[in-house]
Amino acid sequence: MVKQINWQQILIQCKNNIQKQIAPLLKTLNQPQPNLGIGAGGDPIKQIDLAAEEAIVKTLKEHKISFTLISEESGEKKYGETPNENFVTADPIDGTTNIDRGIPFYATSIAVSTKPILNTIHTALVTDLPHDITYIAQKGKGAYRNYQKIAPSENTSLEKAVIGMDLNTYRVKEIAPKLSSIIQKTNHIRHLGANALELCYVADGTIDAFLDIRGKLRATDTAAAWLIIQEAGAKITTPEGKPLNIKLDPKQKVTFIASANPKIHKLILNFLRREKE
C-alpha cells in the first residue's frame, strides 16, 4: 500500500532545515569560497546551494520517503526503494547572486509531483528566506502566504501595472525588442533576481505580471511557483498563450508569461504578438 505522506508538513520541515543549515554560511560569505564545480543547471555550485540541497535530502530521508530528486545542483538522483513514486523538483537556493552581493531577495523552491512532468505537481513551497515568508499550494486547495489565502491583483491597466521581466541574457538584442512596447506602456518595470519568488509576487498581488521569454530559465526554478500561481487564480502560459507543458528535468528550459488576471494576460500576449509581426 502506498503510504500517505503529509507533503505540506514535510516541505515546511525542509525549509526550516535549510534555514538552519545556511545560517552559519551566510556569516562567512565575505571569505574565499571553495570551487565546487558546475551544477546540473549550468551555474557554478556554491557551498550554500549544496547545504540547502543536503537539508532537503536529509529531511526526506528522515521521513523514509523514496523519491527522485530533480535539482538545479546535482541533477537527477534516486533515493529509497521506490524512487518513481515521488518526484521532488528543487532549486535549493534561487537568487544565489543576490546572497553573494547582500541583496535580501532569495528563495528556496520545492515542488512534489507523481511524474517528472509539470502538470502532475501536487504540492509546492517557495520560501523568501531572508524575510521568512512561505508560499504553499496544494492542488485544488488554493495558495497561501504564511497560512493566509492569497489572490492575484485585479488591476487590468498596463499603465498602472508593476511588471517584472528577466532580460538577463547575452541575447538581449534579440529579446528586448519583443518587450519594448510593453516597457513603453508600463510605468513600473522590475527585476529582483529570484524568479521563483517574483512569480509568487504575481500570485499574491504584489506585482501584476512577470515575463521571462529568454529560454534560459530552468524548470527547476519554475516548478513550485507554477502551482502557486495556478492555485492563487493567476495565469501562466507560454508566450504564445498555450499551457506550459514541460518535463521536469534539470536541463529543461522554460519561457512564460505570468499575470494576475485573464484581461492583463491577454493585453500582454497581444503586445508580444504584435512585436512578432
Query: What is the contact surface with Mg ion in residues (CB under 5 A)?
Result: 72, 91, 93
Least spacing, CB of residue 109 vs Mg ion, in Å: 8
* CA pair distance 75, 82, nearest whole angstrom: 18
* CA pair distance 87, 83, nearest whole angstrom: 8
For residue 245, what is the DSSP state? Answer: -
Beta carbons of 74 and 40 less than 8 angstroms apart: yes
Least spacing, CB of residue 159 vs Mg ion, in Å: 34
Pick 50 or 260: Cβ nearer Mg ion:
50
Pick 65 or 194: Cβ nearer Mg ion:
194
Strand pairing of 162-165 and 188-190? parallel
Measure the CA dihedral 121/44/92/109, to 10°.
-50
Least spacing, CB of residue 95 vs Mg ion, in Å: 7
Pick 72 or 231: Cβ nearer Mg ion:
72
Pick 93 or 158: Cβ nearer Mg ion:
93
Helix (H) or strand (E) holding 177: helix 172-185
The C-alpha angle 260, 261, 264, rounded to 5 degrees, equals 90
Least spacing, CB of residue 27 vs Mg ion, in Å: 20
Least spacing, CB of residue 66 vs Mg ion, in Å: 24
Nearest CA to 134 among 30, 244, 14, 50? Answer: 14
Least spacing, CB of residue 84 vs Mg ion, in Å: 25
Nearest CA to 225 among 194, 247, 250? Answer: 194
The partner residues of 124 in beta bridges, in order of sequence, read: 111, 137
